[in-house]
Amino acid sequence: MTRRPFQLVDVFPDAPAAGGRLTGNPLAVVFDGDDLSTDEMLAITRWLNLSETTFLVKPTEAGADYRVRIFTLDRELPFAGHPTLGTCHAWLSRGGPPRTAGRVMQQCGVGLVEVRTGDEILSFAAPPLIRSGPVDAALMATIVDVLQVPPEAVLEAAWAANGPGWIMVRMASAAEVLALSPKRSCPVPLDLGVVGPYPAGGPLAYEVRALFTAEAGSLREDPVTGSLNASVAQSLLAAGRVSAPYVASQGTAIGRRGRVFIDQDAGGQVWVGGRAVTLFEGTAAV
């Protein structure tokens, strides 16, 4: 039995001044995972029963500060957003020394992902989309059936996959997104990101809901999702539907208060940022 450090990190919570503790998406980070097999990592993830658990291992690519393996309850992911920020925060909190001040290079399944560090906000460079374009008519019919809305309520349904196979479902308003009462199960595997704008001039630009098919076809909702916000931002910015910087809200429908900070630099790179706070830490006997 090996004892190794671990942390439970709250990722994308609201500001502390707004009572932001415990309002984001929890992440378990296990350090010194090089001797763990893939099956052991998956077993630990399932036992913890969080949406994702990450394992820090030695990097194998030149230029990487660390390498992370990201697991959901049923598989390993090449990339995910809240695990990227939460793992970076945990690595820095234990004295991880970045090769370059203000920048961390994470190695994961999609290669190297840059993370910018700041006093309060960490931001990752959104990876390129690996699939885009409208969904077909059969899939659209499944989507409106699962969301239990008339077809005309969906303004657009398009692939926005960047590791997870997200489909962006655009609606007319944040209020419509929050009013959704989707089915509890889905006949096919789906990763849906439903988005709708808030009225102009307020502190929040969009409400986001992430719905995905889980075990036995059940439909679950993720509290706050970095990868989805990354691909949504890329799609909305490219179409001119929003301008950066902006703040997205997620988790409202399930009692969370996630805040995702979207920016775009002069070169067109989209950055996805948020807070990360370690709430529990200790030693894992695994």
Q: What's the average model confidence in pLDDT over 260-282?
A: 97
SS (H, E, C) the chain: CCEEEEEEEEECCCCHHHCCCCCCEEEEEECCCCCCCHHHHHHHHHHHCCCCEEEEECCCCCCCCEEEEEECCCCEECCCHHHHHHHHHHHHHCCCCCCECCEEEEEECCEEEEEECCCCCEEEECCCCCEEEECCHHHHHHHHHHHCCCHHHCCEEEEEECCCCCEEEECCCHHHHHHCCCCCECCCCCEEEEEEECCCCCCCCEEEEEEEECHHHEEEEECCCHHHHHHHHHHHHHCCCCCCCEEEEECHHHCCCEEEEEEECCCCCEEEEECEEEEEEEEEEC
> Any idea where the domains of the chain sit in the sequence?
3-124+272-285, 131-262
| pLDDT tens-digit series, residues 123-143 | 999 999 999 999 999 999 999
Tell me what percent of the residues of the chain surpass a pLDDT of 70.
100
- Give the model's confidence band at 175: pLDDT under 50 very low, under 70 low, under 90 confident, else very high: very high
Residue found by looking up tokens 């992911």 in the block: 77
Average pLDDT, the chain: 96
Q: Is the pLDDT of residue 242 over 90?
A: yes
Matching CATH number, 3-124+272-285, of 2.30.180.10, 3.20.20.140, 3.10.310.10, 3.40.1000.10: 3.10.310.10
Let me know if the fold of 3-124+272-285 is the same as that of 131-262: yes
Report the 10 Å Cβ neighbour count for 64: 19
Q: What's the average model confidence in pLDDT over 224-238?
A: 96
Residue range 131-262, CATH number: 3.10.310.10
Alpha carbon of residue 115 to chain centroid: 14
Q: What's the average model confidence in pLDDT over 177-201?
A: 96
> What is the pTM for the complete model shown?
0.95
Q: Is the pLDDT of residue 1 over 80?
A: no
**How far apart, in whole angstroms, are the C-alpha atoms of residue 75 and residue 272?**
24
- In the prediction, which pLDDT does 216 show? 80
Ranges 213-217, 259-263, 269-273: which has the least confidence: 213-217
| pLDDT tens-digit series, residues 19-73 | 998 999 999 999 999 999 999 999 999 999 999 999 999 999 999 999 999 999 9
**How far apart, in whole angstroms, are the C-alpha atoms of residue 90 and residue 95?**
9
Q: What's the average model confidence in pLDDT over 207-226?
A: 93
Q: Is the pLDDT of residue 94 over 90?
A: yes
- Give the model's confidence band at 162: pLDDT under 50 very low, under 70 low, under 90 confident, else very high: confident
Q: How far is CA 85 from CA 16, 35, 180, in A?
A: 18, 24, 29
- In the prediction, which pLDDT does 86 show? 98
- Give the model's confidence band at 151: pLDDT under 50 very low, under 70 low, under 90 confident, else very high: very high
- In the prediction, which pLDDT does 119 show? 84
